[in-house]
Amino acid sequence: MKKIGVLQKIYRHPVKAFGGELLQSSAVDRFGLFGDRGYYFRDESRSGKYLSADRVPGLLGYSAEYVDEQSGELYPAVRIKSPDGKLYRWEDPDFQREIAELAKRPVTPMVNTPAQGGANWEDHLLLVTDASLREIARRWGKTEIDPRRFRGNFVIALDEDSPFVEDNWFGRTLKINDVELKVNKHCERCMYINIDPDNLRIDASLLKTVVQTRENHFGVYASVLQTGRVSQGDAVYLLD
């Protein structure tokens, strides 16, 4: 077992395609962070698809947070903040109408349960490292980059400044506190990363940089082997 870094940031997105919340600590269940993408909109113009920010970039201007952390048969209620600062409840008809108007298509608000897990396209958790963030910023011609562009759940601060060392973690196990994760594959990127999470401006050169220098890969997906709880500052170990 080798210590490779510490858990620097924990991001959870209670509503799929919305801005999320930065957490000090979180439970990790068999689906990933408890409540991650527990709420979502179904895109009725595309059978079986979620409403997503690659189709409606303005969704990222909304943010969501859980009002408490209780765990039961249902996910906790969420508080929504719109780009102009209005606060909504998920079931608020004005909010649902606002999203439908923004999307310019029929949508249906949906909520999963803890027994179902969140509305994720891929594996349970998305991991990025601070060294890789610095290196992709450099390749993009910037001094820094907002990790929220990549919508990772965990930002790991590495003990050694080794960009893209996570490419070597596939099939291996990470341990954070009592949580164990199996690293499975790269995250293939889409235009999401072009959207500035603060002002929603789109700069297509970031995705172009990732495509040209990283074969369109940034970050890695992991699945949960052992549930538990993680906190900012927890040591991250590579077990095998």
Which pLDDT does position 52 carry in this prediction?
94
Q: Which residues contact 228 (CB under 8 A, 6 or more apart)?
A: 27, 28, 177, 178, 179
Indicate the number of domains in the chain. Answer: 1
Which pLDDT does position 132 carry in this prediction?
99
Strands (E), the chain: 2-12, 21-23, 25-29, 32-33, 39-43, 49-50, 63-66, 78-81, 87-89, 107-111, 125-129, 154-158, 173-176, 179-188, 217-226, 228-231, 235-238
pLDDT band of residue 71 (cuts 50, 70, 90) is low
Give the pLDDT confidence of 113-164 residue by residue, as tens digits. 999 988 776 678 999 999 999 999 999 999 999 999 999 999 999 999 999 9
**% of the chain at pLDDT higher than 90:** 92
Global pTM reads: 0.95
Which pLDDT does position 12 carry in this prediction?
97
CATH of the domain at 123: 2.40.33.20
**Nearest-angstrom CA–CA distance, 221 and 200:** 25
Domain that includes residue 87, residue range: 2-238
Which pLDDT does position 122 carry in this prediction?
67
What's the whole-number mean pLDDT along residues 201-222?
98
Which pLDDT does position 120 carry in this prediction?
75
Q: Contacts for 90-94 with beta carbons within 8 Å, 24 or more apart? A: 90/15, 90/39
Give the pLDDT confidence of 29-70 residue by residue, as tens digits. 999 999 999 999 999 998 878 999 999 999 999 999 999 877
pLDDT band of residue 87 (cuts 50, 70, 90) is very high
Which pLDDT does position 68 carry in this prediction?
86
Q: Is the pLDDT of residue 97 over 80?
A: yes
Which pLDDT does position 121 carry in this prediction?
63
